[in-house]
C-alpha cells in the first residue's frame, strides 16, 4: 500500500486525496457531458458541481464523526477538518441537499441534474475506492484465506493484524461493482426512459452493491445484524424500486436490461453467500476464537474451559453497553471465587478508544479486542450489546439480546439464578 505518494517540502500528497480528486474530476466530466447533451450550460454545471462536491465532503466527514462523537466534542473544528474518516453516504446526503438548493438558485431542473449525475456518482465511487485500497484507510474486509486476500500493512490508519494475516480487499470489490453500475447507466443514457429512471436505477444498483459487500467489511453492527451503511443502502434500494414500480415503464425498460440484471443480482446474491450471522442456539457448542487483550496478551475462549463464562459483546460508542458495565463488574466480583469468568469483547474498530475507556473506568473482568467484529459475526449477533452464558463444557446455555436484565440498577434475580444454576448451586 502507498498512502503517501510523495512529499515536497512541507506538502504531502496522499494517494487517497489524489483518487478522490480524480473521482470528482472524471465524474464531473461525465455529468457535464451529459448535461450539455441535454442542452444545458456546461460551464455553469461545472461551477455548480464544485459547490456540491464541497458540501459532499462536509457531509461525508459529519457522518463519519457519528461513530466518534467524543472527537467532535473535544475539538469540533479539528475533527471536521481532519483528513481522515469519510463516509460516502454522508457525502451523498450532504451533496444532494446542497444540489437541490443550488438547482433552484441556478434555475436547473433538479430531476435533469440527478439524471446527469447518476453515472457520474458511480464512476466517482469506483475511483474513490481505488484510493481507499491504495491508502489502506480502514474499509478493508474480514480476515480470509482466499488467494486474493490482502495485508494492508502500510495502512494510513494503522494495521491491526499480525504479520501474515490477510483480509478481503473490499475496496476492490466495490470498485468493480460501481464500475459495472457506471457502465450500465452510461449505456442507458441515450434511451428514451421516463424522467428520473437513471437516478432511480443508480439507487437500486449501487445500493445493492454496497449492501452485499458490507457483509464482508468490518463495520460495527447497529441493529438487526446490519451496519449503518446497510440501512442506508436498503433505503436507497427501496426508494429506487418504489419509483420504478410507480413508473412501470421505467421498471420494464430500465431494470429489464441484461447488464442491469447482472449488477443487481451480483449485489443481492452476496447476501446469502456472505452472511454467516445465523446466531447460536441453546446447547450448541460456542465457537472458539483467539483475540488480544489491550496489553497484547492473547486469549482463547477454550482457555476458559472448566469455568462458566459470561461473554459480553460491546463497544465504547454504544450507550447501553456502557450503562450495563457496572452490572457486569458486580457479577464478575460476586461470582469470581465460584468459577464465573466475565469476558468482554470490545467491537471498536480503534483499539485506542478501548484503552482510553479502561483507563477512565477500570473493570474487574477481562476485556479482549475484536476490531473486525469477527466474533460478533461468528456468533450471529444482531447488534450491541449481546451476552452469552456458556457452561463449563463450552456450550451456550443462554443469550441476552440488548442490555442484561436488571432490577434497581443491579443484576436481576432471574439472571443471578441462571448463573448460579450453571455454577452448581
Query: What are the pLDDT digits (tens) for 287-312?
Result: 888 898 998 888 899 899 899 999 99
List Cβ neighbours of 256 (8 Å cut-off, separation of 6 or more).
none
Residue 110 — very low, low, confident or very high, per pLDDT cuts 50/70/90? confident
Residue 44 — very low, low, confident or very high, per pLDDT cuts 50/70/90? confident
Among 172-176, 367-371, 380-384, 399-403, where is mean pLDDT lowest?
380-384
Residue 405 DSSP one-character state: P
Query: What are the pLDDT digits (tens) for 116-149?
Result: 889 988 998 899 899 888 888 778 887 777 888 8
Residue 402 DSSP one-character state: S
Residue 70 — very low, low, confident or very high, per pLDDT cuts 50/70/90? low
Burial pattern 268-278, b for ≥16 Cβ within 10 A else e, equals: bebeeebbebe
pLDDT of residue 80: 46
Could you give the 3-state DSSP secondary structure of residue 229? helix
Decide: 334 and 322 in contact? Cβ < 8 Å.
no
Among 9-23, 148-162, 260-274, 369-383, where is mean pLDDT lowest?
260-274
pLDDT of residue 356: 92
Q: Which domains does the chain have, with CATH numbers?
A: 4-274 (no CATH), 290-423 (3.40.30.10)
pLDDT of residue 355: 92
pLDDT of residue 392: 92
Q: Which helix (H) or strand (E) holds 308?
A: strand 308-314
Residues making up the chain, counted from first to last: 425
CA angle 379, 385, 387 (to 5 degrees): 55
DSSP assignment of 132-155:
HHHHT-S--B-B---TT-B--TT-
pLDDT of residue 249: 52
Could you give the 3-state DSSP secondary structure of residue 145? coil
Residue in this structure with the C-alpha cell 491491526, named with its chain if needed: 160
- Evaluate if residue 35 carries a pLDDT over 90: no
- Evaluate if residue 162 carries a pLDDT over 50: yes
Amino acid at each position: 500500500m502507498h498512502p503517501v505518494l510523495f512529499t515536497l517540502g512541507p506538502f504531502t500528497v496522499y494517494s487517497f486525496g489524489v483518487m478522490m480528486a480524480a473521482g470528482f474530476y472524471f465524474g464531473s466530466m461525465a455529468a457535464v457531458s451529459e448535461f450539455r447533451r441535454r442542452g444545458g450550460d456546461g460551464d455553469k454545471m461545472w461551477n455548480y458541481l464544485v459547490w456540491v462536491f464541497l458540501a459532499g465532503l462536509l457531509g461525508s466527514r459529519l457522518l463519519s464523526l457519528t461513530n466518534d462523537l467524543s472527537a467532535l466534542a473535544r475539538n469540533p473544528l479539528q475533527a471536521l477538518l481532519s483528513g481522515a474518516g469519510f463516509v460516502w453516504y454522508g457525502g451523498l446526503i450532504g451533496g444532494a441537499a446542497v444540489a437541490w438548493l443550488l438547482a433552484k438558485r441556478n434555475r436547473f431542473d433538479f430531476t435533469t441534474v440527478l439524471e446527469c449525475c447518476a453515472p457520474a456518482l458511480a464512476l466517482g465511487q469506483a475511483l474513490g475506492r481505488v484510493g481507499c485500497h491504495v491508502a489502506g484507510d480502514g474499509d478493508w474486509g474480514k480476515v480470509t484465506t482466499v488467494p486474493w486476500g490482502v495485508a494492508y500493512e502500510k495502512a494510513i490508519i494503522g494495521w491491526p493484524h499480525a504479520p501474515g494475516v490477510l483480509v478481503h480487499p473490499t475496496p476492490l470489490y466495490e470498485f468493480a461493482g460501481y464500475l459495472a453500475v457506471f457502465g450500465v447507466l452510461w449505456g442507458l443514457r441515450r434511451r428514451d426512459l421516463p424522467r428520473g429512471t437513471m437516478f432511480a436505477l443508480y439507487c437500486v444498483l449501487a445500493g445493492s452493491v454496497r449492501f452485499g459487500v458490507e457483509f464482508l467489511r468490518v463495520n460495527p453492527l447497529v441493529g438487526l445484524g446490519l451496519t449503518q451503511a446497510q440501512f442506508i443502502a436498503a433505503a436507497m434500494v427501496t426508494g429506487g424500486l418504489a419509483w420504478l414500480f410507480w413508473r412501470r415503464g421505467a421498471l420494464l425498460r430500465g431494470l429489464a436490461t441484461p447488464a442491469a440484471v447482472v449488477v443487481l443480482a451480483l449485489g443481492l446474491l452476496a447476501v446469502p453467500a456472505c452472511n454467516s450471522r445465523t446466531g447460536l442456539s441453546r446447547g450448541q457448542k460456542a465457537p472458539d476464537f483467539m483475540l488480544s487483550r489491550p496489553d497484547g496478551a492473547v486469549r482463547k475462549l477454550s482457555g476458559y474451559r472448566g469455568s462458566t463464562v459470561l461473554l459480553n459483546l460491546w463497544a465504547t460508542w454504544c450507550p447501553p453497553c456502557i450503562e450495563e458495565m457496572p452490572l457486569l463488574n458486580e457479577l464478575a466480583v460476586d461470582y469470581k471465587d465460584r468459577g464465573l469468568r466475565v469476558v468482554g469483547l470490545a467491537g471498536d474498530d480503534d483499539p485506542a478508544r478501548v484503552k482510553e475507556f479502561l483507563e477512565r473506568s477500570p473493570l474487574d473482568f477481562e476485556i479482549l479486542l475484536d476490531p473486525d467484529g469477527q466474533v460478533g459475526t461468528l456468533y450471529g449477533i444482531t447488534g450491541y450489546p449481546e451476552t452469552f452464558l456458556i457452561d463449563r463444557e463450552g456450550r451456550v446455555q443462554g443469550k441476552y439480546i440488548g442490555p442484561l436484565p436488571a432490577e434497581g440498577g443491579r443484576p436481576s434475580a432471574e439472571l443471578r439464578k441462571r448463573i448460579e444454576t450453571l455454577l452448581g448451586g
